[in-house]
Chains A and B, each alone.
Chain A
Amino acid sequence: MKYIKIILLIIFSVNVANSQIDRSKPPKAGPAPSINLGNPKSFVLDNGLKVIVVENNKLPRAYANLDIDNYPDYEGELKGVSSLLGSMMGNGTKNQSKDSYNEEVDYMGATLVLSASGGYVSSLKRYFPRILEMMADGLKNPKFTKEDFEKEKNVALESIKSIDKDVQNIANRVHSKLRFGANHPFGEFETNESLNNISLKDVQNYYKKYAIPNNAYLTIVGDVKYEEIKPLIESLFGDWKKGKESNYTLPQAKNLNNIEINFVDMSNAVQSEIYVGNLMDISMTNPDFFALKLGNQILGGSSTARLFMNLREDKGFTYGSYSSASTSRYKGSFTATASVRNEVTDSAITEIIKEINLISSEGVTDEELDAAKEKYVGSFIMSTEQPSTIANFATNIAKFNLPEDFYEKYLENFQSVTTEDVKRVINKYLLKDNLRVLVVGKGQDVLSSLEGMPYDIKYFDKEGNATEKPDFSTPTGITVESVLNNYIDAIGGMKKVSEVNAVSMLAEAEVQGMKLQMVNIQAKPNKQVMMMMMMGNTMMKMVFDGEKGSLSQQGMNNPLPDDQVQKMINSTLPFEEIGWLNDGNVKFSSVEEEDGKTLHVLQVSDNSFVSYDAETGLKYKQTELANMPDGSKVPQSTYFEDYRDVNGILFPYTVKIPMGPQSLDMNVINLTLNPEVSDSDFTVEN
């Protein structure tokens, strides 16, 4: 080893002496390259369609991108109609059946996508005229059937349902609504109500009104000849009828006068979603564009930026914290975001605001600016390899009224930004004293610390409507004891319950067509055995003999982990609630609403919550928080339903475990009170 190293060292030093290179540090970069994008040619059809052609014969294929650039539209009580229309387009036309249309695209090895705001096609050069023809046909003569409409509407309704408890999704839509206002196209979102308002006729009307060429851009990139493609486009798109443009004007969206916290309470949130930011008036034509992009890159543009380094690397608050500076013709915005653990919600907000203040007052260093330029310039250059990027550039120049050489000078403009520019621009657009701070999280856990911050707090519901401050105080008369006693009374009373020495149960579930069986025997004081079987084979067996336990899976026996054993030693089976009555660690957690029921929630251990129906007293669900490898926590709930009387005591006959969109339903087949059990039933496997 040493020998090799010495030889290498000798070679190394010879190398340095003989050549110009110094390999002890990274070589310096050459001058920034400029980009040769080629010269787009363009023409305008009588109906307003602007066509941009970029001849690029590097490969024998071509690509067309259609951008119907209408002025933003407020859909109001029909919100969702544009996305429904989008999902119904490109599925056959009045001239070609759906099957034939789709098969032909496959045959050519081509791609075709259409929506209400445009579309794209790509294919080999020789099929390009045909795929363009199919695009035009799909655009001008779409076929809307009742069947497709119902199908797509149901998909949309399902997806709204599925996000009802999704904290990130709710945070996102409430944030847009608060920022822009409910009467603004950028602030509205689909609801059950708005989707149900939509009829097939509305979709057809929307198509007629908005799928128009007036402000549309068709960009063609690839192995085409301008002289050939121009007459083709004229014949395919020339009869696309011009429409009437709406005279709608965007309402004004305003920034806040002071920093303000907007809070949405979601009792199922295991972490807080934080958005900090403000609106800004800056578009790509503004010379400040470059300095602003770089400033944001340094603040929060990547996993090496300040926000990430502070909140994640240094403090460990979060799985990521980033910021964005979006420029727009209509309204731009600056947003810093983080998803953080409940207990550090206030500290995370403090740190984000601190970083915004710091970059405003101190600016950025030369090193930071250089690295940001490199990263920005590098990824920009890489993106130019794809023809889609080149198409976007060409459209942007036309659409946003950019100078013809905007993208040629792009890199140069980035390179010439100074640290002074960044500081000035940050102060101009990041309104450190007018930030809106949106927090969506579990109020019970985070609100008291937010109240300690020097900002006003306003409360909103999941739809972004103003609401009262949620009341987390324990309702009078409700205690851990009362909840547990209510439960015991509800299932049959302490006397009956204490006469039960053991319970055995057989339950069944169906998983992908296969039957899963579960046998569970629980006996006083804390013994239990549980087996899961599938097609007659034991998949899992867990035994606890009162002191120790084992878990067998796939022929492997493992002792139960210590924390599990500790929990089980202290539990009182078959009814855990009896033990919780005397357990000082069980706490009253919250009053929650779910599915129209009021729930009293007890926290029975660090990661375990049990909810009881306030009206019936019965156990409604149990929620465990699972620790994920990335440090986040994921809740998994088990629901108890269909309580039935067994010798005077109520037991749930259905236990539901939701798994994604489906749920695993265990149905009790047989439940016996005080079966004959002996210690040998609880023999721990070694």
Chain B
Amino acid sequence: MIKKLLSFIVILFIYFDSYSQNVDFIEYDLDNGLHVILHQDKSVPLAVTSVMYHVGSKDDSPDRTGFAHFFEHLLFEGTENIDRGQFMKIVESNGGSLNAYTSNDETYYYEFFPSNKLELGLWLESERMLHPVIDEIGVKTQNEVVKEEKRLSYDNRPYGQLLPQITQSLFTKHPYRWLPIGSMEHLDAATLDEFIAYNKKFYVPNNAVLVVAGNFEIDDVKRKISDYFGPIPRGEDVPRINITEDPITAEIKKKFYDPNIQLPMGLVSYRIPSFKDRDAYVLDMISSILSGGKSSRLYKKMVDDKKVSVEVQAVNLSFEDYGIYVILSLPVGENTLQTLYDNIDEEIEKLKSDLISDREYEKLQNEFENSFISTNSSMSGIANSLASYYLLHDNVNLINERLDIYKSITKEEIRDVANKYLKKDSRAIIDYLPESAKQ
């Protein structure tokens, strides 16, 4: 009885001590449809300017895959006021840094400056949105760059075909079946007019969110934003794809041979719901139970105790329309992939039938609280979260509520979600093998 009372007190203590600090923000629209989010934080003299466009590889047409990713590169080529190759130099010589990425759903650009140069970031991003130079020279230059990136990151990289093998197994209709890098043939075949049309269609203020985070005066930054971004013309309404996959009703089994590897890898993958779905959060926790750290279930069993696996990872890749849940592992020595699958199945079955222990549950809470706080510990992390929570999750306040969702997940829910999605008859098993194992 005393023990029970003690644990109750501990729970209370944790509850009241938990993270309650809000990330404050202001949001509004410009007349041209650009959504603006401001997060003021005067504790350090920095400012991030970032723009997220709601265009990713799922917006590529099936015969022009790789367009969205190509644009991430192309839009660094220059604008009517920024000469070719100067974008980066301007940022560097002003003590700033920049970066960009393209995913399946979105494209993100950001600049990071001392706060007295915030206006420079606004100028750079508004230039990019207003009048980027899209010409033959730029297309040709970036075509080479992207090809080199594909060679480095996919073709010559061991296990470089891993993701496409999974996406092609789980998706037959949805554009998630191809990767952002796309097809080089498609890019080679594209004309300059097609690139210009793609830019006009997607890289418009009404398809973007501008986030400014850091040390500034709100009135001043609002005026500057309207000066730099106000004159950019609104684009036409942006069409959204709406493609539903049929359910997977029988286990898919595949073999793939990679010339760049020596050690085979076993992949167990499941199609899961969008990151907007509560179940996706539960699956995040399941990943952590299975393979987060050396005391996690799969790691401890397969790597530490039985020594059948060199490495095992449960990964939850969530996107706007669907997600991918994959457990990958590499065998030690003569152990077969089947041994790995058997071990993985055993642990998944355990998750489906038994509730996790109190200690594991507490550890999960600690881990997720820690990582939640880390995300909000940098200005660039906050800016990125604000942008994607607005544009992709339709809830900017997730930046404050996300941890509450994780904390509200119960042991029972973990068991139920495991039962709902980690099913044998709706998964894909891919034996990812060295070329030399081909019979």
Q: Pick the contact of A33 from B14, B115, B127, B367 — CB < 8 Å?
A: B115
Per-residue CB contact flags for chain A residues 89-108 toward chain B (1 = under 8 Å, else 0) read 00000000000000100111
Chain A residues positioned under 8 Å from B366 (CB to CB): 107-109, 124, 127
Q: How many Å lie between the Cα of A376 and that of B93 in the bound state?
A: 10
Task: Please indicate the chain B residues that have their CB under 8 angstroms from the CB of A350 in the complex.
Answer: none
Give the CA-CA distance A513 to B94 in the complex, in Å.
54
Q: Given known contacts A21-B227, A23-B123, A107-B363, is B116 in contact with A59 (CB within 8 Å)? A: no
- Please tell me if the beta carbons of A381 and B45 are within 8 angstroms of each other in the complex: yes
Q: Which residue of A lies closest to B363 (CB)?
A: A107
Asked if A382 CB lies within 8 Å of chain B CBs, one says yes
On whether the beta carbons of B116 and A29 are closer than 8 Å, the reply is: yes
- The segment from B101-109, B179-187, B370-378, B406-414 that touches chain A is B370-378
B17 cross-chain contacts in A, Cβ below 8 A? 60, 125-126
A34 to B: closest C-beta gap in Å: 7
Known contacts A124-B373, A554-B259: A27-B120 contact under CB 8 Å: yes
Q: Which residues of A contact B394 (CB under 8 A)?
A: none
**0/1 string, B127-141, CB within 8 A of A gives 1:** 100110000000000
Q: Determine the chain B residues whose CB is within 8 A of the CB of A12 once the complex forms.
A: 80, 130-131, 231
| Residues of chain B contacted by A478 (CB below 8 angstroms) | none
Q: Report the Cα distance A103→B293, complex, angstroms.
A: 10
Contact A106 B293 (CB under 8 A): yes
* In contact, A33 and B363 (Cβ under 8 angstroms): no
Q: Is the CB of B95 within 8 A of A379?
A: yes
Residues of A within 8 A of B373 (CB): 59-61, 124
Contact A19/B215 with A124-B373, A382-B112 known, Cβ cut-off 8 Å: no
B419 to chain A, nearest CB (A): 27
One of B21, B81, B95, B367 near A381 (C-beta < 8 A): B95
Q: Let me know if B43 and A36 touch, CB within 8 A.
A: yes
Bound-state CA distance A512–B377 (Å) is 42
The 0/1 profile, CB within 8 Å of B marked 1, for residues 38-62 of chain A is 0000000000000000000011110
A464 CB, min distance to chain B CBs, angstroms: 38
Question: Are A60 and B19 also in contact (CB < 8 A) when A26-B120, A304-B92, A381-B95 are?
Answer: yes
Interface residues of A in 521-554 (CB under 8 A from B): 534-535, 537, 539, 553-554
B333 interfacial by beta-carbon distance below 8 Å: yes
The smallest C-beta distance from A444 to any residue of chain B, in angstroms, reads 35
Report the nearest B residue to A554, measured CB to CB. Answer: B259
Assembly CA distance A304 to B366 (angstroms) = 44
Is A539 within 8 A of B436, CB to CB?
yes
Q: Is the CB of B200 within 8 A of A4?
A: yes
The interface residues of chain B lying within 8 Å CB-to-CB of A26 are 90, 94, 120, 123
A534 touches B436 (CB 8 A): yes
Known contacts: A60-B21, A106-B363. The answer to whether A11 contacts B116 by CB under 8 A is: no
Q: Which residue of B lies closest to A19 (CB)?
A: B227
Cross-chain contact of A535 among B89, B94, B371, B437 (Cβ < 8 A): B437
**A residues near B438, Cβ cutoff 8 Å:** 537
By a CB distance below 8 angstroms, the chain A residues around B90 are 26
CA–CA, A385 and B359, complex, Å:
34
CA distance A423 to B236 in the complex (A): 58
Contacts of A107 in B (CB 8 A): 295, 359, 362-363, 366
CA distance A539 to B439 in the complex (A): 12
Cβ of A1 within 8 Å of any chain B Cβ, yes or no, is: yes
Within 8 A of A (CB), among B15-56: 17-19, 21, 42-46
Pick from A11, A124, A386, A513: contact of B333, CB below 8 A: A513
Whether B119 lies near A27 (C-beta < 8 A) is: yes
Is the pair A103, B227 in contact by a Cβ cutoff of 8 Å? Answer: no
Residues in chain B near residue A304, CB distance under 8 A: 89, 92-93
- B404 shortest CB reach to chain A, Å: 14
Interface residues of A in 55-92 (CB under 8 A from B): 58-61
Contact yes or no, B81 A23, CB < 8 A: yes
Chain B residue with Cβ nearest A536: B439
CB contacts under 8 Å to A, within B244-274, are 259, 262-263
The answer to whether B21 touches A58, judged by C-beta atoms less than 8 angstroms apart, is yes
Give min CB distance, A415 to chain B, whole Å. Answer: 11
- How distant is the Cα of A616 from the Cα of B21 in the complex, in angstroms? 77
Report the Cα distance A378→B81, complex, angstroms. Answer: 24
Interface string of B59-99 (1 = CB under 8 A from A): 00000000000000000000011000000011011111100
User: Please, how many angstroms separate the alpha-carbon atoms of A106 and B360 in the complex?
Assistant: 11
Q: How far is the CB of B207 from chain A (nearest CB, A)?
A: 17
**Contact present for A375 and B120 (CB under 8 Å):** no
Question: Do residues A381 and B114 form an inter-chain contact, with CB atoms below 8 A?
Answer: yes
Q: Is there an interface contact between A511 and B262, defined as CB atoms closer than 8 Å? A: yes
> Which residues of chain B are near A287, meaning CB under 8 Å?
none
Contact of B81 (CB < 8 Å), options: A24, A59, A371: A24
Interface check B117, CB cutoff 8 A = yes
B233 within 8 A of A: yes
A374-B95 CB under 8 A given contacts A8-B131, A58-B43, A512-B262:
yes
**Does A15 reach chain B (CB closer than 8 Å)?**
yes
What separation, in Å, do the CA atoms of A535 and B224 have in the docked complex? 67
A126–B369 alpha-carbon span in the complex (Å): 11
**Interface check A628, CB cutoff 8 A:** no
**Of B116, B127, B371, B378, the contact of A30 (CB 8 Å cutoff):** B116
The answer to whether A385 touches B436, judged by C-beta atoms less than 8 angstroms apart, is no
Cα distance A59–B41 in the bound complex, in angstroms: 13
Picked from A7, A19, A381, the residue with its CB within 8 Å of the CB of B46 is A381
- Contact with B45, one of A19, A34, A514 (Cβ below 8 angstroms): A34
A285 within 8 A of B: no
Contact, CB under 8 Å: B81 / A25:
yes
Shortest distance in angstroms between B288's beta carbon and chain A's nearest beta carbon? Answer: 11
In the complex, the chain B residue whose C-beta lies closest to that of A61 is: B373
B114 touches A23 (CB 8 A): no
CA distance A106 to B366 in the complex (A): 9
Find chain B residues with CB under 8 A from A514 CB: 262, 436
Is A603 part of the contact surface with B, judged by Cβ < 8 Å? no
B334 at the interface (CB under 8 A from A): yes
> How far, in whole Å, are A34 and B44 apart by their CA atoms in the complex?
9
Contact B227 A378 (CB under 8 A): no
User: Among the listed A4, A33, A109, A371, which residue makes an inter-chain contact with B215, where contact means beta carbons less than 8 Å apart?
Assistant: A33
Whether, in the assembled complex, B218 has its beta carbon less than 8 Å from a beta carbon of chain A, the answer is: no
User: Which of A7, A126, A371 contacts B14 (CB under 8 A)?
Assistant: A126
- A512 CA to B379 CA in the complex, in Å? 45
A371 to B: closest C-beta gap in Å: 5
| A378 in contact with B228 (CB, 8 Å) | no
> Within the complex, what minimum Cβ distance (angstroms) separates A129 from chain B?
12
List residues of chain A with CB within 8 A of the CB of B376. 59
State whether the Cβ of B294 lies closer than 8 Å to any Cβ in chain A.
Answer: yes
Closest to B334 in A: A513
Interchain CA distance A376-B17 in the complex, whole Å: 40
Q: Please, how many angstroms separate the alpha-carbon atoms of A535 and B435 in the complex?
A: 10
Would B92 and A385 count as touching, CB distance under 8 A? Answer: no
- Complex: A138 Cα to B362 Cα, angstroms: 25
Q: Which residues of chain B are near A7, meaning CB under 8 Å?
A: 233
B432: interface (CB < 8 Å): no
Contact A512 B45 (CB under 8 A): no
In the complex, per-residue mask of A372-394: 1 if CB is within 8 Å of any chain B CB, else 0? 00111111011011100000000
Q: B interface vs A, CB < 8 Å?
A: 13-14, 17-19, 21, 42-46, 80-81, 89-90, 92-97, 112-120, 122-123, 126-127, 130-131, 193, 196, 200, 215, 224, 227-228, 231, 233, 259, 262-263, 293-295, 333-334, 359, 362-363, 366-367, 369-371, 373, 376-379, 434-439
User: 7 nearest interchain CB pairs?
Assistant: A378-B95, A33-B45, A534-B436, A30-B116, A109-B370, A15-B231, A109-B366
Q: Can you list 29 A-B pairs, Cβ within 8 angstroms, ordered by A?
A: A7-B233, A11-B231, A14-B231, A21-B227, A23-B228, A29-B116, A30-B118, A33-B116, A59-B377, A61-B373, A106-B294, A107-B359, A107-B363, A107-B366, A109-B367, A123-B370, A125-B17, A374-B93, A377-B95, A378-B95, A378-B96, A378-B117, A381-B44, A381-B45, A381-B115, A382-B112, A512-B263, A514-B436, A539-B436
Task: Known A-B contacts: A32-B116, A61-B377, A109-B369. Give 7 more (CB < 8 A).
Answer: A24-B81, A30-B119, A59-B19, A106-B293, A109-B370, A381-B95, A384-B44
